[in-house]
Structure 1
Amino acid sequence: MPNARPLALALIVALAASVSAPDADAAKKKKAAPKKAAAATACSDFYGFSNADWFKANPLPADVASVSALGQMRERSVQQQRDLLDGAMRAPQGNVQKLLGDFWASGLDEAAVEADGSNSIAPLLARINGIRKAKDIAPSLAALHQVGIPVLFNFSPDVDLAKLDRHIGYFGQGGLGLSDPEFYTRSDANTKALMERYRDYVKSILTLTGTPKEQLDAQVQSVIDLETRIAQASRPLTALRDPRANYAPVPASGLKQYKRLQLREFLEAQGVKDDTVSMANPQLFAQLDALVGSLPPAQWQAYLRYHVGNAMAPYLSKPFRDADFAFRGQLLRGETTPAPRWRQVLDAINTAAGPMLGREYAARYLPAATDARAEEIAKQVRATLERQVAESTWLSAEAKAAAKARLDNLKIEIGTPNRDLDYTVQPMGRGSFGSNMLIASTWRHREEMKRIGHGNADRRWDVLPQHPALAYDIAQNRLIATAATLQAPVLDMSRDAATHYGTYGALVAHELSHAVDNKGRMIDVDGTIKSWWTPADEAAWQERAGKLALQYDGYAYPGLTGVKVDGRQTSEENAADLAGIELAYDAFSTDPSAASESAKQAFFKAWAQLWAQQNSADAAKVLVATEVHAPGQWRANGPLVNQPAFGEAYQCKATTNMQKKPEEQVSFWR
């Protein structure tokens, strides 16, 4: 927000000064009240100028960390989902809506949820209680994975780094009630205090799952002991950040060595028939295999009962929910009050049946005309990028050819994934929310497992259609624009072409630039991980990116005194923002309306209005340390100071804040 004080505050100061003056002579001797800072202009702070009305209409409440234009769009999509589910509950249109409506109704019926208690997990607990020997453990593990409760380890589909057109199953570490293995091994005071609180939580969950009082302490210790053993064999989280550290393909037939874990049978239970899996930490699985054979069945029973109760606690009766919120909500996430019941149920449906909801969301909220317009602009931007690559003065001929091949093969997917799912699901009914959660989780796990295998890598998105997202999928070389993104302020069909290009077009261009930037150049057209840049291409990119980073280093961080934007931390996204404006404006210039001066101004104003936001000081402190995007003011202004077209549209000279001198400007694709 610009430095101008609100008019109301200025009037209060003036009135206070006049009331406090004891007499006319004294009033004359007092210093004049400071002048109100000048309002932002297009050439002093285009962000403040463009969003002045938004700031007035959206003051930051005292108990809210941040508000933003895009955040408001996200909240609108949440309300749309709620409205859709309300309609599906009252008058479902088709089988999928019937499933969703029953799921929604069962969660909103709090009396029924309380009456159901923990009945929904009783069959799972009965199976666990039936473990008598070591050979009984592995089938129980597999059965829990099938219903979406991963225990002892994680198993999930992800891209095969050696063959990006397929997914393989990744065996990874997991099975802990806490997110970081080091919580179980550190001995500092804070960690010890956390572990004591965790121990209390485990005790609460075991109590609720039926553990006799006299056995509680021993079973709590059994759970903590087993999780500690898992943690000791696990790698630090920092060692898992590089995807290559998690990639170690092995033949599925080689899993026979883990006889007690029965991993071949595990794959069969999950419906996986692929011949390759990834297991980056075989020492962990050797240790887990040994634990299955060495620990008593009673210890496994306690561990598995706890993990069933822990996973299902948010969806069961109030004592479970209270225990979950006290530990995970208040202690770990810092929440003060639980979310409203409808929001909890909506989150549960997104977790277990998100693709179902996404299918219906797109059908209701994405008109065909919007879908067509989104695809039209995306194709125009892609063509513009192809032309700019061909005309580039800094890319080598070799790199230009590789970039062209990659862009020629780039797919555009709008609204929902191109491939639909199998919605054959056990009927839900309205009697048990917990049971519906398990039915839906089983369905989603089944569909996720279908991603594993040759030719299945593009089967699904990693985002849901009902969640706003516009992204470039580097592995599958595709642009993804979810249905929830294609509404105001990103693509407002009631606005003109200039606005469409300044918002949606610029965001598409931002994402597509990643296909040929410092990251995109690491994957060639065949999906092989190797750079197609020459050393000269690399040097040219780094020169431009370095100059841009220095620009951002000089920008004050909004809401914080004496703090600057970190130009290196935000470098990649700043470059994509600049590319987005360059490419979108170029694409817009082919539109018949582009000759109008007012349309040119509207293009840039639409861009700036995307980034309207207000953050509390506490939120800003977190963002400046962690966020890879610049704050809203500089996402808006940062690219524009490098655009001669912006200076011409608003007659901003190089002597103003909003226009760099020609020799200081940075460009990638103009």
Structure 2
Amino acid sequence: MTLRPLFCALVIGLTAGLASPSVSAQDAADACTDFHGFANAGWLMANPLPAGADSISALGQLETRARQEQIELLNSAMQAPQGPVQQLLGDFWASGLNEAGVEADGAQPLAPLLDRIVAIKRSKSIAPAIAALHQVGIPVAFHFGADIDLANLSRHIGYFSQGGAGLPDPAYYLRTDEPTQAVMGQYRAYIEKILALTGVKDKELAKQAQLVIDLETRLAKASRPLAELRDPRSNYGAVDTASLGAQYPNLELDKFLEAQGVSTPTVSIATPARLAEVDRLIGELKPEQWRAYLRWRVGDSMAPYLAKAWRDAHFDFHGRVIAGTAAQPAREQQVLDAINHAAGPMLGHEYAARYLKPETRNQAMLIAGQVRNALAESLARDTRISDQARAEASAKLAKMKIELGVPARDLDFTIQPMGRGSFGGNMLIASTWRHREEMRRIGADNADRRWDVLPQQPALTYDLAQNRLIVTAAALQAPLLGSLAQNATLYGSFGALVGHEISHGFDSRGRHIAADTSLRDWWSPQDASTWEAMGNRVVAQYSGFDYPMLGGVKVNAMATRDENIADIAGVQLAWEAYNKAVPDADKKAREAFFEGWAGLWPQHLSAESAAQLAKHGVHAPGKWRTNGPLMNMAAFGTTYGCKAGTPMQLKADDRIVLRPEPAAEKRKK
């Protein structure tokens, strides 16, 4: 329904099961050998990998808890709604859980859409039908969504991009190898199943499916390979909207934008050749072919929210064949996923109101602000960077915003009443609302209108384009920020994650956005050289770490380099912030800080999962996310009595110190 943001947030899940194991139960030598195993011994023993599971982690436990909280909220809204938004959510939830009602509803939710498609008799009716389907959240022929204007990061513009086909990669339609052809055969069979469910007669199915595949293949031939679209700049092509009606007369893009409620003078068209092909095909192909394609797109898009025959057909292809998933989620999870997809901001608004306590938010804001201040002080005394870069970084940090819990701007929750009669109908109502609100992101000074994560998703993220730290309501929960956790633990867990995230504003990616949010590189050649030399040291260090569960395999230090640097920076900044807040912390409190960091990363992986992560992951495994940063801190060795040269206390010359320590901290040692 919406474009993936150009500036992807670095989302880090937190954990609800963050234990602080007692260090007295272990011998000190263990802490100096493998602190991850030492600090997380209790969790690792109490949480074995379930049979058949790929992984279990503290991160996953918080995600599970957040899902359960959403379910509890929706059950309460269903039984005794508190206010109009909960009434909507409760009705939506009830309609989805009523499987008998969903079965009886059949294809009725699609009837108005299908009736409009069947009524297409001439080419002039195709463009308005495309615009109407986009309005209800069903992308056909192309994608259109809101995203950052790369020429002015304070605003969103509308992005036209390739999409609107049943397969995720245009290469499927173009390759002739045997495995691809096997997938295409299964795809054809799936199209026929969906068309049959929409009411196409058996004798027409093969012909109609071929019309669909032929049209989508034509679009694929005009599409760019996905690899070419990974760079945000390749997705950007600003054009004036005034000329679009004349440039694409059959597609009527001027009227399309009007239908979406978009009136800005500029939009982005990254693949004009593809839009030109859509425009040409509207004029060239017979209406019958467009009717088959549009009917198919409606059926495929809505299949997960309809009766069992629809859901099974959709999962058998998209789940088993394309995604390699073995089994469908439970019905309750399917309905929750649908509500998050179509009405996620509504659920997030109510989630934060129910679960986020003001005192928790205040505590989080205090710690986050202190970590930000620690970074400011570190930048001021860092002689390794140029004066120009230091000034730019300091100005950028001074403008950095911290947003906790929910977005600062509320949405307009005005929406058509749902009722409990039709889950598919409710899905269309909610999707229409969500699309309307996404379109309202487009315009001047609207770039910070929304988050690209939902409040009910446990996440910390640094929004690169808007220079802001975002912490969702689901992340601000015990024991990370609960009354039972030691203060030092909060700095070691939450504070270090804050440091990790905000450090991205000043790393090899953050260097490309200046304090005034303009896109320019504010590093000098010497700054870049200094960063690369430090990055090379991190790569050399992490390349020596064995990957758990995989004999003879090392951590892919190049792939994980930037996240490893952020981990090291985050812990060092949080430690500095804690020591300034509690300068006379005793040994037990200092231990609690390091245990807070370790408690984020316990995990068990299957050998298969470990192999996949070792090959493709951008994060080091939990053991090294714990141990890597700590073995580079003299303060860790001092706290636990680790001698220099032991695994958890590198010799002084081997340690990587990203942030110069304050003089007071040096004097303590």
Distance (whole Å) between structure 2 residues aligned to residue 510 and residue 395 of structure 1? 19
Does the 8 Å CA contact 2:114/2:295 hold for their aligned counterparts?
A: yes
Pick from 559, 565, 570 the counterpart of residue 560 of structure 2. Answer: 570
Q: What is the aligned partner in structure 2 of residue 33 from structure 1? A: none
Please tell me whether residue 120 in structure 1 is matched to residue 109 in structure 2. Answer: yes
Deviation at 1:491, TM superposition (A): 2.7
CA contact (8 A) 1:181 1:232 kept: yes
**Cα deviation, residue 612, structure 1:** 0.5
Q: Does 1:210 align with 2:199?
A: yes
- Give the 5 Å matches for 1:559-598: 559-592=549-582, 594-598=584-588
CA distance in 2, matches of 1:398, 1:503: 33
Confirm or deny: 8 A CA contact 1:491 1:503 kept in the other structure: no
Instruction: Please state how far the C-alpha of 1:336 moved relative to its aligned partner.
Output: 2.1
**Structure 1 residue 627 corresponds to structure 2 residue 617:** yes
Which residue identity is paired with 1:446? R
1:301-343 Cα offsets, whole Å, 9 max, x none, are 0000011000000100111011011111222222222111100
Aligned residue identity for 2:66: S
Q: Give the counterpart letter for 1:406 in structure 2.
A: K
**AA of the residue aligned to 2:331:** R
Q: Distance in 2 between matches of 1:146 and 1:490?
A: 41
Distance across 2 between alignment mates of 1:422 and 1:668: 44
The answer to whether the 8 Å contact 2:28/2:640 transfers is: no
Gaps of 5+ in 2: 1-26, 661-669
Is the deviation greater in 550-559 or in 591-600? 591-600
Work out which of the residue numbers 43, 61, 66 in structure 1 matches 2:55: 66
1:405 to 388, 391, 395: 395
TM-score, normalised with respect to structure 2: 0.94
Which of 635, 640, 643 does residue 650 from structure 1 map onto? 640
> Residue by residue, what CA displacement relative to the aligned partner does 1:359-406 show, whole Å, maximum 9, x if unpaired?
000000100001111111111111110110001021111111100110
3-state SS, counterpart of residue 41 of structure 1? helix
Structural mapping, 1:382-401, within 5 Å: 382-401=372-391
Structure 1 residue matching 2:109: 3-state secondary structure? helix
Instruction: Choose the corresponding residue for 1:285, options 249, 272, 275.
Output: 275
Cα distance between partner residues in 2 of 1:167 and 1:489: 37
Aligned amino acid, residue 98 of structure 1: Q
Aligned pair partner of 2:187 in 183, 198, 212: 198
Q: How does 1:238-277 map to 2 (within 5 A)?
A: 238-256=227-245, 257-277=247-267
Distance 1:563 1:283 in 2: 45
- Could you say which residue in structure 2 is the equivalent of 1:29? none
Is residue 2:457 matched to residue 1:467? yes
Q: Is the 8 A contact 1:251 1:275 kept in 2?
A: yes
In structure 2, C-alpha distance between the alignment counterparts of 1:294 and 1:334, rounded to whole Å: 37
Shift of residue 281, structure 1, vs aligned partner:
1.3
**Corresponding residue number in structure 2 for 1:189:** 178
Shift of 1:287: 1.0
Residue-by-residue CA offset, 1:266-318 (whole Å, 9 max, x unaligned): 00000001110001211111111000000000000000001100000010011
Amino acid of the structure 2 residue aligned with 1:533: W
User: 2:632–2:650: 8 Å Cα contact kept in structure 1?
Assistant: yes
**C-alpha deviation, 1:157, in angstroms:** 0.5
Question: 1:596-638: CA deviations, max 9, x gaps?
Answer: 1111111011101110001000101110111111000000000
Instruction: Report the counterpart of residue 325 of structure 2 in structure 1.
Output: 335
Once the two structures are TM-superposed, the CA of residue 46 in structure 1 deviates from its matched residue by 0.2
Name segments (4+ residues, structure 1) moved above 6 Å: none
| Unmatched segments (≥5 aa) in structure 1 | 1-37
Pick from 105, 122, 136 the counterpart of residue 133 of structure 1: 122
Q: Secondary structure at the match of 1:588?
A: helix
Task: Provide, for residues 473-515 of structure 1, a one-character-per-residue CA deviation record: whole Å limited to 9, x for no partner.
Answer: 0100000000001114533332111001000000000001111
Alignment partner, residue 230 of structure 1: 219
Residues 386-428 of structure 1: per-residue CA shift (max 9 Å, x gap): 1100010211111111001101110100000000000000000
Aligned to 1:360: 350
Report whether the alignment pairs 1:425 with 2:412.
no
Instruction: Tell me if structure 2 keeps the 8 A contact 1:498–1:593.
Output: no
Q: What residue identity is the alignment partner of 2:610?
A: A
CA pair 429-594 structure 1, distance change in 2 beyond 3 A: farther
- Aligned-residue RMSD, C-alpha: 1.2
Query: Which residue identity does 1:284 align to in structure 2?
Result: R
Q: Which TM-score applies when normalising by structure 1?
A: 0.94
- Structure 2: distance between partners of 1:333 and 1:278: 30
Aligned equivalent of 1:161, options 122, 133, 150: 150
SS, match of residue 515 in structure 1: helix
| Correspondence 1:606 to 2:609 | no
Q: Distance in 1 between matches of 2:275 and 2:328?
A: 38
Equivalent pair of 2:479/2:485 in contact (CA under 8 Å): no
Distance in 1 (alpha carbons) for counterparts of 2:282 and 2:34: 64
Q: Deviations over 1:167-197 (max 9, x none)?
A: 0000000121000000000000000000000
| 2:90 equivalent in structure 1 | 101
- Give, in whole Å, the separation in 2 of the partners of 1:648 and 1:176: 59
Whole-angstrom CA distance in 2 between matches of 1:573 and 1:192: 39
For residues 507-559 of structure 1, the C-alpha deviation after alignment (integer angstroms, 9 at most, x for no partner) is 00000111111211111111111111111111111111110111000000011
Letter in 2 for 1:273: S
Q: How does 1:9-48 map to 2 (within 5 A)?
A: 41-48=30-37
Q: Which moved more, 1:236-245 or 1:281-290?
A: 281-290
- The residue aligned with 2:14 is none
Aligned residue in 2 for 1:152:
141
* Contact persistence 1:490–1:610 (CA under 8 A): no
Q: Which moved more, 1:659-668 or 1:484-493?
A: 484-493
SS at 1:590 equivalent: helix
Write out aligned runs for 1:72-111 (5 A). Answer: 72-111=61-100
